[in-house]
Amino acid sequence: MIAISPKLGGLLTRATQTPDLETALWKVLSEYTDMKIATLTTTITQFEQKWDVSFSEFTQLCREGTLDGDIYSWDVEQDFWAWEQATTLLEHYEALKV
């Protein structure tokens, strides 16, 4: 059992407008997960629009060396790592929702 301070408990119940502390904590965590999923989905959509492909297609084009532009350039590598991170985190947060 985790103990929290009365001040934190009060904040949770007031912020969620829920009198039950456990329900309030579940609500906060659920809403946080929803916000993360929405943000990551937006990030992924921006990359898909920028490159006009999905992440798996982008990865394949990089492997094959058929991507427009230098796959070793700073911009391409930064997009790859940020896109991969967003995709991985999205899968993680979606799994938490089940």
* C-alpha count within 13 angstroms, C-beta hemisphere, residue 69: 10
pLDDT at 28: 95
pTM (two decimals): 0.87
CA distance 19 to 89: 32
CB 40 within 8 A of CB 89: yes
**pLDDT in tens for each of the 98 residues of the chain?**
778 999 999 999 999 999 999 999 999 999 999 999 999 999 999 999 999 999 999 999 999 999 988 999 999 999 999 999 999 999 999 999 86
pLDDT at 3: 87
Distance of CA 80 to the CA centre of its chain: 15
